[in-house]
Structure 1
Amino acid sequence: MNKKRFLSIALILVVLLSSFQLGVAVDLDNLTQYEMNITLNNKVHTVEGEQKVIFTNTYNADLKNLVFHLYPNSYESYETLPAIGGMYLMEGEEIPKLAEEEKGYIKIEDVHINDKKVKYTDDNQILKINMDRPLKKGEKAEIKIEFTIKIPEGYHRLHHLEGVYSLTNWYPILSIYNEKDRKWDENPFNPIGESNYSHVSNYNVDITVPKNMVIAPTGTIIEEKENGANKTVSIRAEKVRDFVVFMSDKYKVKTKKVDDIKISNYYIVEEGKKDSKTADMILDEVAKTVRFMNKTIGKYPYDELKIAETYLSGGAMEYPQAIQMGGYWDMEDINIEESAPFLIEAAVHETVHQWWYVTVGNNEFKEPFLDESLTVFTTAYYFEKEYGKSHENGIDFAIRNSMYPSNIMPLNTNVDEFKDWGDYSEAIYRRGPAFFEALKQKVGEEKFTEILKTYFETYKFKNATIEGLLDVIEKVAGKDIRNSMEEAVTQPNYFPNDIELTQEEQEAYYRNQHKRYLRESEKVNGLIMGSIALRALDEETVIVVKPKYLSERDLMNFEEFTQMLVNDRMSGYDSNMKIKEEKDLTEEDKQNNLILIGYPNKHSVIKEMNPELPIKLDEETININEISIKNQNVTGSFIAENPNNKDNLVLVIFLYEDTASEENLGNDEFIIYENSLYRYDPMYTNDKQFIINTKNTEIQGKYK
């Protein structure tokens, strides 16, 4: 290779690497500085004040104007309202008008650049400020904007309600200039999805509020000074792409540290509302998520993270160093070892967003897949690693088992191209996460986590693009993998059927689903007929005793029932349920979990246990807690502790020998079912302790 050729290749390599590293970069040595001085008026629910923005032009272009987003104006009408999950109307229903208290907006009072008053336009959520002369690269401008915000009453991201204030996407925020198109980004906040897109900046904020207000902001509180009935809180935040404030006089705070990161949960305590364990559970799970992400992806670059309970409906939201939650509910009886309720999953999801959107940014309007789909995947990955592959919120069940073929937009679709939240969710929340699982299965877990770590380090404090992600994939896994993933992200109807659960995995899934369901039912109801099925699913021995004597019809029912219960259903569950003849039953067998089926006066084991059972089966009557039922054409089932071994259970399914001769023995399918064993199936009659059927009546419930 001659020297000239070597230099040419080296130059190309430098250019490629520079492009790879930069993405949509910002000069970290010349960050935009926001200096705010604002006041909350909690009587009329407004915020008034001014912000000074010190901006250095780091773009390769002369800027003739400056553009700021005015996202609060999206709350002026029903059509533009950014409601999580959407605002659905009945067919033919007219679009409603927002009441005045439900409207939110920002009013620009005055604008100065370098202490000189300038002209501006305020339209469609965009503040456009004209420059007297173009701002050249490297030059600074000091923009002072005076404004008033009306905070809408309601349940959306920006709101006030019952003394809780949520200031999100609330102030004039500088847009991003596209050097290729030579235009500022002027996309409004779309009603579907999210539209955040900004560079990291530094903030110094002074906010004056009533002195009983507890404040949960982005960044760190530096100082609080009281002044009569009010106080001024000084806040500093560095290298953040947005700034939010949550506040209320109802807040209490719980705090813990993880990896030198202070995590605080601000939760609402109202009069008469007890201080439940919910805030602790959410705080603990967020802490575990931070520890996982630090280890798996890269260290969280901030020293504080706040969780704030608000009156947000429809979900939760991520912001720099802050998580906005909806209202908490009592989770004291929830066990998250197998399945996490929505509040826990939402808290984990928004914590993961602290890596994907807060630290590694992207244009959420143009490429929502990039942060949202990756966050859904990483959330499922966390639950799998923290609690095991069978966890209901893990990858196998939240992603691999939740896909189904359907027509969807390409994963790289803009938010404004989705027709509704349903279309958006199917592409971004379901199929998008499957992209990352497909990538993991293609390259292996070790190389996959290397991709995520490289992506995080490459685009920390920058704005990534899908093209940038594909570049990282190529760098770590090769061009062929990159090409296949590029096709996946750009083609419509993406469906990676090669990652669907295998039959064995599906059986494990349904087994665990049923176990969870039965455990929850036991927790609510105590001992239930389904408890015997749970013992089998937990791989305890359960013996179905085949009676020595049954009529021809009842024997046929027994064979069909046990075939379904033991061979068809339980065989896929790896259970220890088995059938044994009554005559072959040993004394040791009688101490196991038993299912006894037959005529009480002819089944030897039922007769033997009858005196110690809670429901007495006599020839003339059936007795429950001093209530007697005439034993004529009566069948039923009940659960009890095994009298031979109180640690095990016995399920008795008793039949009436003359039932087959009764008039309701017809060929009608329903009547056949009513006279069969299927209604006593312990897999599904799982919330009762007994069921008794007479000719015309069914009695069910608990005997204790």
Structure 2
Amino acid sequence: MNKKRFLSIALILVILLSSFQLGFAVDLGNLTQYEMNIILNTEDHTVEGEQKVIFTNNYNTDLNSLVFHLYPNSYESYETLPAIGGMYLMEGEEMPKLTEEQKGNIKIKQVYINDKETKYTDENQILKINMEEPLKKGEKIEVKIGFTVKIPEGHHRLHHLEGVYSLTNWYPILSVYNDKDKKWDENPFHTIGESNYSDISNYDVELTVPKRMVAAPTGTIIEEKENGENKTIFIRAEKVRDFVIFMSDKYKVETKEVDGIKVSNYHILEEGKKDSKTADILLDEVVKTVRFMNKTIGKYPYDELRIAETYLGGGAMEYPQAIQMGRYWDMEDINIEESASFLIEAAVHETIHQWWYVAVGNNEFEEPFLDESLTVFTTAYYFEKEYGKNHQNGIDSAIRNSIYPSTLLPLNSNVDQFKDWGDYGEAIYRRGPAFFESLKQKVGEEKFIKILRTYYERNEFKNATIEGLLNIIEEVAGKDIKISMESAVTQPNYYPEDIELTQEERDVYYLNQEKRYLKESEKRNGLIIGSIALRALEGEDVIIVKPEYLSEEDLTKFEQFTQMLIKDGTGRFDLQMKVKEEKNITETDKQGNLILIGYPNKHSVIKEMSSELPIKLDGETIDIEGISIKNENITGTFIAENPNNREKLVQVIFLYENTDVEKNDIDSTVGVREGYIIYDSSMHKYDPMYNYDIQFIIDTKDIEIQGKYKSSK
């Protein structure tokens, strides 16, 4: 053998070995086949099921046993209940007991191997079948399991409530055998995070339900046959690592197509209630996400994807070809261009899980970082690319501005190593996504996307590992980058301070936050005092009109107040406001955005506008929404459209002139002089930056009145 040939063979061996490390391989020609016949009983909320599992031993060893997960048994007590976000108890409060209706479980009735009844054990969410003879590599076996699932009432992943059924992690599912450790995975469904772990399989399912029931399953509905008051739905799913069904007779279905993929939203339409646009909004966003992921990462490997509204509490969940959502609320007035509500972000997040968990799997019990942290990052990346760098749900806001030094476990920790959901969330939902942003900044966006595309391509339909991801990082970006990222994922207290926002970026972030808060408040409340600050933040000119008749002390206070307005009191950003003396105001100026400060009976611009302002300041009383206030010794502010130009705004800050009030009659917090009477604490309250939901404030010596003089613009 010559040296050149020897090197070629060695190189091939290296490639093959590294490919093996990338993910646990699956023989696509010998996938496990599930043939299921199940009947939903809506009277006692149970599923009677029988499944035949045809399994070929593709492992590199003989198997003496088979192991199936029985995840529904996690619903038998609060101590084992997989509640999203965890159970919150007051200090000293005892763990409550589940009612019989709230309990869920799965009972195994019988097990057959190759048509021969077989003994088994059923404990700690595990069905174990010890075989009489070892199943040799390449041999096939047929396992039949009869079972009954009691569906718990409630708001968890597996539930029924008000005619909606969520069958998730609900049947005996074959475990994954670890060739290296020579044992089956027997981890229960942990109370923190997700713990379901399986290889891809094929499914043929016959589901019998009441004939009005609408089903949203994994896979494709091949046919429906009615039989009296019931119907049987025939479903086929290929190359999926799990099988779920959402059902209700209240479901209305909206469908769109993207890149040849049928996307459907099954939403609850209750009798007598208006059909909300929320389902359409969510469907549109999921379609956008599928298109983005197809283009950026790789083609979705299935031809259907379903979104199902359920009574899930605490979040949303991903399953093969199906997304489980909680109840929808009205989102008709959202501005997705700037910020995504929880529902929208959840729908995008679970859609991206169709790539990171569904197509590329992993052991969620041992390495939750792989799918969850990568999904959180990719979700933020989607919002940045779809809507811009300053989007509220983008990387700068959701990741770079949300990390801080703290004590936490390594990112490669198992779910059972986290003491609670808080610890898990900090590591997996905050610091884990920062790992991927740090990697992106180290290698550049082009190489980073190449890493993700390679990771997806090589692990599609497999179960990936952190080791495999690190190997791809080395292949694309070099050994030094791999060493750096390996340290990041294996050491405690990971904190990539190099990705923090710069001061300039932070200023932009806070500027956009202020604008967002003000816009959202305007949408809810109509015109608000803060509206004039919003105009300034968006680059419109605002003139603060400096009145005449200022004493030296008043001049100092006026200048302090105006500087606070111009610099937002923080110095973070310039509000584009400028001060102009009353005597120099032009007719053109009067057409713009104005902040008028002064005596109503002396300020020339206030007097000129007085008759057309919504709050009249020239009478003996001020009348607002049926309330009459004596116009004597009062200060205040209100917002209005500029009478000279309805496209612009005017904020009036009105003061009163001290002429005959004795010092002893005035509270010590009030400055008494010739000139303005200024309630020092009130002046700061008149700052438009901090008045998000009101149209006026009126202060007297003893009381304050604030609110809206009209309900909308």
TM-score normalised to the size of structure 2? 0.95
Question: Which of the numbers 646, 666, 669 marks the counterpart of 2:668?
Answer: 666
Q: 1:677 to 1:234 in 2, by over 3 A?
A: same
Distance change (3 Å), C-alpha of 1:686 and 1:557: farther
The secondary structure found in structure 1 opposite 2:689 is coil
Superposed counterparts of 1:265-304, under 5 Å: 265-304=265-304
| Partner of residue 699 from structure 1, selected from 702, 705, 712 | 705
Distance 1:625 1:182, change over 3 A: closer
Partner of residue 158, structure 2: 158
Matched ranges for 1:390-469 at <5 A: 390-469=390-469
| 1:271 Cα deviation after fit | 1.6
Bigger Cα displacement from structure 2, 75-84 vs 651-660: 651-660
Q: Which amino acid is the alignment partner of residue 104 of structure 1?
A: G
Deviation of the 1:627 alpha carbon: 6.3
- CA distance in 2 between counterparts of 1:131 and 1:327 reads 45
Give the Cα separation in 1 of the matches to 2:251 and 2:619: 65
Partners of 1:549 and 1:602 within 8 A in 2: no
For 1:676 and 1:252, how far apart are their aligned partners in 2?
Answer: 53
SS of the equivalent of 1:412 reads coil
2:12 aligns to what?
Answer: 14
Distance 2:527 2:135 in 1: 76
Q: Could you tell me which residue of structure 2 aligns to residue 517 of structure 1? A: 517
| SS class of match (1:436) | helix
Counterparts in 2 of 1:26 and 1:560: CA distance versus 1, 3 Å: same
**Contact 1:557 / 1:677 at 8 angstroms: preserved in 2?**
no
Counterpart in the other structure of 1:58: 58
Instruction: Work out whether residues 70 and 127 of structure 1, in 8 Å CA contact, stay in contact via their aligned partners in 2.
Output: yes
Q: Cα distance, 1:676 vs. partner?
A: 4.5
Task: Please name the residue that 1:677 is paired with.
Answer: 683
Distance 2:695 2:75 in 1: 53
Cα pair 1:666 1:672 within 8 Å, conserved:
no
Judge conservation of contact 1:673–1:679 (CA < 8 Å) in 2. Answer: no
The amino acid across from 2:414 in the alignment is N
Separation in 2 of the partners of 1:687 and 1:38? 54
CA distance in 2: counterparts of 1:658 and 1:483, whole angstroms: 74
Q: 1:159 and 1:629, CA in 2 relative to 1: closer, same or farther beyond 3 A?
A: closer
- CA separation of 1:550 and 1:131: change in aligned 2, threshold 3 A: same
Q: Structure 1 stretch 685-694 or stretch 104-113: which is displaced more?
A: 685-694
Partner residue of 2:535?
535
- Kept in 2, the 8 Å contact 1:63–1:135? The answer is yes
The corresponding residue for 1:223 is 223
Residue 460 to residue 629, structure 1, CA distance change in 2 (3 Å): same
The residue number in structure 2 matching 1:96 is 96
Q: Give, in angstroms, the shift of residue 10 of structure 1.
A: 3.1
Rounded to whole Å, the distance in 1 between the matches of 2:459 and 2:466 is: 12
- C-alpha distance in 1 between matches for 2:619 and 2:152: 72
- Residue 166 of structure 1 and its aligned partner are, at CA, apart by 0.6
CA distance in 1, matches of 2:440, 2:144: 48
For 1:488 and 1:121, the matched residues in 2 are separated by: 41
Aligned pair partner of 2:692 in 686, 689, 692: 686
Q: 3-state DSSP class of the match of 1:243?
A: coil
CA displacement at 1:573 relative to structure 2: 3.4
Contact 1:221 1:233 in 2 (8 A): yes
- CA positional deviation for 1:625: 7.1
Corresponding residue of 2:674: none
Secondary structure (helix, strand or coil) at the match of 1:483 reads helix
Whether contact under 8 Å (2:670, 2:680) holds in the other structure is no
**Counterpart code for 1:688:** I
Measured in 2, the distance between the counterparts of 1:101 and 1:139 equals 43
- The corresponding residue for 1:319 is 319
Q: How does 1:2-81 map to 2 (within 5 A)?
A: 4-22=2-20, 23-81=23-81
Equivalent-residue separation in structure 2 for 1:265 and 1:703 (angstroms) = 42
- The match for 1:105 is 105
Decide which moves more: 33-42 or 542-551: 542-551
Asked if 2 retains the 8 angstrom alpha-carbon contact of 1:390 and 1:512, the reply is yes
Q: For residues 575 and 110 of structure 2, what CA distance do their matches in structure 1 show?
A: 74
Q: Distance in 1 between matches of 2:170 and 2:629?
A: 70
Give 1:357 deviation, angstroms.
0.2
Structure 1 position 668, deviation (Å): 9.4
Residue type matched to 2:698 in 1?
I
C-alpha contact (below 8 Å) 2:593/2:642 kept by paired residues: yes
Partner of 2:328: 328
Query: What is the CA deviation profile of residues 399-438 of structure 1, one whole-angstrom value per residue up to 9, with x for unaligned ones?
Result: 1111111111100000000000010000000110010111
Per-residue CA deviations over 1:624-656 (Å, capped at 9, x if unaligned) read 578654333211111112222221111110111
Match status 1:203 vs 2:203: yes
Once the two structures are superposed, residues 67-104 of structure 1 have per-residue CA deviations (whole angstroms, 9 ceiling, x without a partner) of: 11111111111111001001122222222221111111
Q: Does structure 1 retain, via aligned residues, the 8 Å contact 2:599–2:654?
A: yes
- Per the TM alignment, residue 548 of structure 1 is displaced from its structure 2 partner at its CA by 2.1
Shift of 1:362: 0.3
CA contact (8 A) 1:636 1:654 kept: yes
For residues 110-125 of structure 1, what are the structure 2 equivalents within 5 Å?
110-125=110-125
Letter of the 1:562 counterpart: T
| 1:185–1:625 CA distance, 2 compared to 1 (3 A) | closer
Report if the CA contact (8 A) 2:107-2:147 is conserved: yes
CA shift digits 1:339-359 (9 cap, x unpaired): 111111100000000000000
Alpha-carbon distance in 1 for matches of 2:186, 2:160? 27
Residues 544 and 95 of structure 1: CA distance in aligned 2, closer, same or farther (over 3 Å): same
Map of 1:477 onto structure 2: 477
State the AA in 1 paired with 2:688.
P
Distance 2:457 2:211 in 1: 41
Q: 1:623 to 1:208 in 2, by over 3 A?
A: closer
The one-letter code sitting in structure 1 at the alignment partner of 2:383 is: F
**One-letter code of the match for 1:427?**
A
User: Does structure 1 conserve the Cα–Cα contact (< 8 Å) formed by 2:111 and 2:118?
Assistant: yes
* Identity rate, percent: 76
Question: Amino acid of the residue matched to residue 692 of structure 1?
Answer: I
- Call closer, same or farther: CA 1:522–1:475 in 2, change over 3 Å: same
Letter in structure 2 aligned against 1:429: Y
- Give the partner amino acid of 1:19: L
Report the counterpart of residue 307 of structure 1 in structure 2.
307
Please say if residues 215 and 248 of structure 2, whose CA atoms lie closer than 8 Å, have aligned partners that are also in contact: yes
In the TM superposition, what whole-angstrom CA distance separates every residue of 1:14-70 from its partner, at most 9, and x where no partner exists?
A: 232123323211111110001111111111111112111111111100001111111
Structural RMSD (CA): 1.9
Distance 2:424 2:148 in 1: 33
Question: Which segment is superposed worse, 461-470 or 94-103?
Answer: 94-103
Secondary structure of the residue aligned to 1:40 is strand
Give the Cα separation in 1 of the matches to 2:75 and 2:626.
65
Cα distance in structure 1, aligned partners of 2:588 and 2:678: 36
What does the per-residue CA deviation read over 1:200-230, in whole Å, with 9 as the maximum and x for residues that have no partner? 0000011111111101000000011111111
Are the structure 2 counterparts of residues 616 and 186 from structure 1 closer, same or farther at C-alpha, using a change threshold of 3 Å? same
- Counterpart Cα distance in 2 of 1:479 and 1:594: 61
> How many pairs are equivalent?
701
Q: Which AA in structure 2 matches 1:11?
A: I
CA distance in structure 1 between the aligned counterparts of 2:617 and 2:152, rounded to whole angstroms: 67
C-alpha distance in structure 2 between counterparts of 1:553 and 1:676, whole Å: 17
- Residue 683 of structure 1 aligns to a residue whose secondary structure is helix
Code of the aligned partner of 1:17: I
- Once residues 661 and 515 of structure 1 are traced to their aligned partners in structure 2, the CA distance between those partners, rounded to angstroms, is 44
Aligned 8 A contact 2:682 2:699 in 1 = no
CA offsets 1:134-183 (integer angstroms, 9 cap, x no match): 11111100111111111111111011111111110011111111111100
Name the CA distance, whole Å, in 2 between partners of 1:632 and 1:275.
52
- SS of 1:58's partner is coil
In structure 1, the residue matched to 2:615 is 615
SS of residue in 2 equivalent to 1:43: coil
The offset of 1:623, in angstroms, is: 5.3
What's the offset of the Cα at 1:8? 4.3
Distance 1:172 1:393 in 2: 38
The amino acid of 1:167's aligned partner reads L
Q: Is the 8 A contact 1:315 1:346 kept in 2?
A: yes
Counterpart code for 2:684 = Y
